Chain A
């Protein structure tokens, strides 16, 4: 029965060849540090799933953001878990991205023919930091508000365009409902869209070129 269904599906989807290229490919023997990339991917998936769940209740408005986060944390079943996973997942994501990067540098994995993989990786790092910064404001608690006030103020230091950057980030001179709304928009639409595209390219390249082998002393 199972075989029949899988045959039927394979005839139409060709999933078997996809499965073979992605999962049944040969890779060099590597050590545990090579799991950092997939761990980062797992953290990203975790962020996506829990993030989507959080938007079910979260309201990006100064009137309600805090109350809705409080509601998620204290009232909704497993809300504390979803929010906890998202909160600590964010830290894990940053930590893993950086460690993954350090591993890549250590083994020289960014070298020919994997330069493009590296470039997309640096892009991903920036996006992850962007996630961290924009997500920080959303709970609209004291820490969120003041850290973002200072964080956006820092951008003001930029020569010439500092003030403009500050205003664009905040959507005005002050940190207001507009700021919260746009941080939310960036956090759940702009950044995820870019993240998915870059992860797609990154993974495609990893599978196409194959993971680098651990270099020997002569290499």
Chain B
């Protein structure tokens, strides 16, 4: 074995070692990435139509608070969650359902009857009766749910 061959052999081994290292790293790293981000990529569970209650409970012209229980499967745990929704109707036929979660940072807004406004206690965000932005740092109106009425029962589309 002359020097040249020796050199070649060592170059090969050197490259092969690096290659194996990269191979193993990838073999472990790629699944690891998939493993870590996997649940994040999962599509949010759709709940379909969630029954809120009878439409007769909705007061005309005043956002009315409804609560509904949903079962949410998170990972290996099934939680029963309560979602809270303000339902508003001006005429008793058309309903809008608004989430009570402030679009700013996710605090819970509350209806202040005297002022006819939603108020978020965290950073003084203010929404009007229909959820539109009035004041404060809020970026957009309150989120709305799709609503349907069947047999005088009020449903929202959960998601």
A and B touch in the complex (CB under 8 A): yes
Query: What residues make up the interface of A, taking CB atoms closer than 8 Å to B?
Result: 46, 49-50, 53, 56-57, 64, 67-68, 70-71, 75-79, 81-82, 85
Closest to B30 in A: A78
Q: Is the CB of B35 within 8 A of A49?
A: no
Given contacts A46-B28, A78-B31, A82-B31, contact A53 B76 (CB under 8 A): no
Given contacts A68-B75, A70-B76, A71-B76, contact A53 B38 (CB under 8 A): no
Given contacts A77-B34, A77-B35, A79-B35, contact A49 B28 (CB under 8 A): yes
B32 at the interface (CB under 8 A from A): yes
B36 at the interface (CB under 8 A from A): yes
Q: Is the CB of A53 within 8 A of B75?
A: no
Contacts of A85 in B (CB 8 A): 28
A72 to chain B minimum Cβ distance, whole angstroms, is 8
A92 to chain B minimum Cβ distance, whole angstroms, is 14
Q: Is the CB of A64 within 8 A of B38?
A: no
Query: What residues make up the interface of B, taking CB atoms closer than 8 Å to A?
Result: 28, 31-32, 34-36, 38-39, 75-77
Closest to A52 in B: B32
Q: When chains A and B are docked, how far (Å) is the Cα of A76 from the Cα of B36?
A: 8
Q: When chains A and B are docked, how far (Å) is the Cα of A81 from the Cα of B29?
A: 12
Q: Is the CB of B76 within 8 A of A81?
A: no
Instruction: Determine chain A's interface SS by DSSP, over half rule.
Output: helix
A64 to chain B minimum Cβ distance, whole angstroms, is 7
Q: When chains A and B are docked, how far (Å) is the Cα of A76 from the Cα of B76?
A: 11
A-B contacts at CB below 8 angstroms, number: 43
Contacts of B75 in A (CB 8 A): 57, 68, 71, 75
Extra pairs beyond A75-B39, A76-B38, A78-B32 (19, CB < 8 Å) = A46-B28, A49-B28, A49-B32, A56-B35, A64-B77, A68-B75, A71-B76, A75-B76, A76-B35, A76-B39, A77-B31, A77-B35, A77-B38, A78-B35, A78-B38, A79-B35, A81-B35, A82-B32, A82-B35
Q: When chains A and B are docked, how far (Å) is the Cα of A78 from the Cα of B23?
A: 17
Q: When chains A and B are docked, how far (Å) is the Cα of A77 from the Cα of B76?
A: 14
18 contacts across the A-B interface (CB closer than 8 A): A46-B28, A49-B32, A50-B28, A56-B36, A64-B76, A67-B76, A67-B77, A70-B76, A71-B75, A76-B38, A77-B31, A78-B34, A78-B35, A78-B38, A79-B38, A81-B31, A81-B35, A82-B32
